[in-house]
Amino acid sequence: MHVFVGYGFYGRDLVEWGLKNELINSAPDRPSTYQFAEARAVAQRMIDHSDALCNMEIVLPPGSKQDDVDSPFMFLIDKYRDDSDEALEVDEEKRHLDIKRLIEKELRFTSSQFFYVRG
């Protein structure tokens, strides 16, 4: 069983983040789905190349079916890079803080609509 613990946000927030930080090249007149795909790819690349202690994915929360700017998404810790016994026994509160730190430090991404996801 996979436990989902992460920070949720709406796709539109990621597009605004990409444009504000000049990380995406999409012209404002391009379809929002194109801008979202570009922003999501940039954010995932930044996460993958970070020195954080965990791998993180940008995913749809359980039960979500749409994949566009108006859909909810979440940052989800996929696995810890440290294979020690301590890392394997990490508690939910630590996961919660690791996700928050990684988002703030590596992406400088904030959203007024952040919500905590657990399932």
Which pLDDT tens digit goes with each residue over 69-114?
778 888 877 776 665 555 556 666 777 777 777 787 778 877 655 6
19-23, 64-68, 87-91, 99-103: segment of lowest average pLDDT: 87-91
Give the count of beta carbons closer than 10 Å to the beta carbon of residue 83. 8
Query: In the prediction, which pLDDT does 47 show?
Result: 84
pLDDT (mean) for 13-17 = 85
23-27, 40-44, 77-81: segment of lowest average pLDDT: 77-81
Query: In the prediction, which pLDDT does 1 show?
Result: 41
Q: Would the pLDDT of 2 be above 60?
A: no
100, 116 Cβ separation under 8 angstroms: no
Give the count of beta carbons closer than 10 Å to the beta carbon of residue 62. 10
